[in-house]
């Protein structure tokens, strides 16, 4: 896979999905993996996945319809 190719499928675990994957209007590329890595690091720091207050489809809706970022606790700053 090179950086100019765009993916068009919708697969993954909702808590780690980047907004581009959820919206999937123009495809997505490598930066979504960086987003997922950041979500993984956040989960390692807090013992909870980002958006954990929402379940499945609600998390997808939150990610796709808001410009909000997951809450980053003070311990990570």
Structure tokens at 70: 């997951």
Instruction: Say if pTM beats, i.e. exceeds, 0.75.
Output: no
Confirm whether 1 is domain-assigned.
no
**Is the Cβ–Cβ distance between 50 and 39 less than 8 Å?**
yes
Q: Which domain holds residue 63?
A: 14-76
Structure tokens at 27: 């495809």
Which are the contacts of 41, defined by CB distance < 8 A and separation ≥ 6? none
Confirm whether 33 is domain-assigned.
yes
Confirm whether 9 is domain-assigned.
no
Confirm whether 19 is domain-assigned.
yes
Confirm whether 6 is domain-assigned.
no
- With tokens 């958006």, the residue in question is 51
Number of domains in the chain: 1
Q: What is the pLDDT of residues 19-74, one digit of tens each?
A: 888 887 777 788 888 999 999 999 998 899 888 898 888 888 888 888 788 878 78
Q: In whole angstroms, what is the distance from residue 69 CA to residue 45 CA?
A: 16
**Is the Cβ–Cβ distance between 74 and 47 less than 8 Å?**
no
Confirm whether 32 is domain-assigned.
yes
- HSE, CB side, 13 Å, CA atoms: give it for residue 41: 10
């Amino acid at each position: 896979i090179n950086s100019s190719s765009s993916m068009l499928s919708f697969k993954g675990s909702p808590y780690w999905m980047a907004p581009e994957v959820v919206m999937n209007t123009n495809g997505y590329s490598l930066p979504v993996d960086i987003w997922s890595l950041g979500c993984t690091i956040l989960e390692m720091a807090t013992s909870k996945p980002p958006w954990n207050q929402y379940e499945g489809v609600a998390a997808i809706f939150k990610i796709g319809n808001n410009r909000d970022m997951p809450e980053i606790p003070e311990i990570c700053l």
